[in-house]
Every structure is written in C-alpha cells, then in structure tokens.
Amino acid sequence: MLTQDGRTPIPLPQEKMFFTQSDVKLILDCNESEAGYPGHTEGYFESNKGTVILSNQRIIYLAEHSSDQFKNLNIPILNLKQWKLEQPWFGANYISGVVIPVPQGGLTRRSQLKMTFNEGGAIEFTTILRSLLERIGESNELPREYEPLPAYDLNPSSLDHDLPPHYSA
C-alpha cells in the first residue's frame, strides 16, 4: 500500500525499511510460461527510472513515471526466487530473478524480474537481502538461535538435600 500521492509506501505491521535507491530501471516480463517457452501474453512492463525500497518484508519499486499498466511493484521477499547479482563488464550492475505471484495480487504467473542499478547500490541491496533471507530461513520463522530457551523444570525429587556447610565470617 502507498500513500495517496503514490510516492511513499505505508509500512506494514513490524516492517522496517533497510535500503532505498533511486535511478533503478525495472523490467518485469510476464510473457514466459513456467515451462520456459512463450505462452499467452500476460504483459511486459518496463520502467526506465524509479526507486527501489527493501524492507524486512518486501521489495517495493516505485516508478518515477507511472502508466495505467504499471505504477509500482510490491514483492514479498520470500517470493523472489533464483535471484542473482550480475556484474557485467560494461554497464550497470543488475539483479535478476523470478517473481512468484501472491493470491489476489496483480500477477497471475511467475515472471522474470530485472532491476538495473544505474547509480550503484546493487551490491548493498543483495547483501541486505541475503542477510534478511538468512534470518527468515526460508521457513518464515525465527532462527533457532533467536528462540527462547526451554523452561527449566525443577523436580524436587531429584534434588540433593545435602546443603553446603554454613560459613561464618
């Protein structure tokens, strides 16, 4: 969800924004079928300039110049699969991956995503994203090291009733 001006995301419950980068180009190709050959056209969306925001729950892309077909993109971070950072010899670094659609979302099938970071930031983005995914552990649960310790069960029958001697000063 965005504010009325469409330029600022409304934070979700317990959401924290970690990274923002402007001048990012986005290509979202919804034409490829899951089998890898062209299927019926779902759409091809391209935005030459926009802002990408990475939070602990989602990736948000806000197009600088929106159209009726494409205004913004919200991807739950667990729904970006097979992503990788590409560092070409010539040109800006980019991230590519597969977007898995969410129920009642705007996408109806898996789509190819490419975000080109024209002014830098791709390495920082992937570092933060990798860290977030490690913490979530792909299971959407807290890692075991963050779970509370089990409760200590004091069993009176197992106590040694020999108390230490009293000391006097």
Tell me the pTM: 0.73
Q: Is residue 114, in this structure, part of any structural domain at all?
A: yes
Residue 36, pLDDT above cutoff 70: no
CATH of the domain at 52: 2.30.29.30
The residue length of the chain stands at 169
Q: What is the pLDDT of residue 39?
A: 45
Distance CA 23, CA 72 (A): 14
Q: What is the pLDDT of residue 103?
A: 83
Q: What is the pLDDT of residue 128?
A: 92
Residue keyed to tokens 């010539």: 90
Q: Is residue 30, in this structure, part of any structural domain at all?
A: yes
Domain count for the chain: 1
Q: What angle do CA 43, 46, 50 make, to 5 degrees?
A: 140
User: What is the DSSP code string of 9-51?
Assistant: BPPPTT--EEEEE-SEEEEEE--B-TTSSB-S---EEEESSEE
Q: Is residue 3, in this structure, part of any structural domain at all?
A: no
Distance CA 100, CA 108 (A): 9
Residue 59, pLDDT above cutoff 60: yes
pLDDT tens for each residue of 86-135: 999 999 999 999 999 888 777 878 899 999 999 999 999 999 999 888 88
Higher per-residue pLDDT: 77 or 36: 77
Q: Is residue 62, in this structure, part of any structural domain at all?
A: yes
pLDDT tens for each residue of 137-169: 754 554 555 556 666 666 666 555 566 667 665
User: What is the DSSP code string of 92-159?
Assistant: --EEEEEEPP-TTSS--S-EEEEEEETTS-HHHHHHHHHHHHHHHTTTTS--GGGSPPPPP---GGG-
Please provide the average confidence, as pLDDT, over all residues in the chain: 80
Q: What is the pLDDT of residue 167?
A: 65
Residues ≥6 apart with Cβ < 8 Å to 160: none
Q: Is residue 1, in this structure, part of any structural domain at all?
A: no
The rounded percent of the chain whose pLDDT value lies above 90 is: 38
DSSP 3-state of 62: strand
CA dihedral 137, 138, 139, 142 (to 10 degrees): 30
Q: What is the pLDDT of residue 158?
A: 57
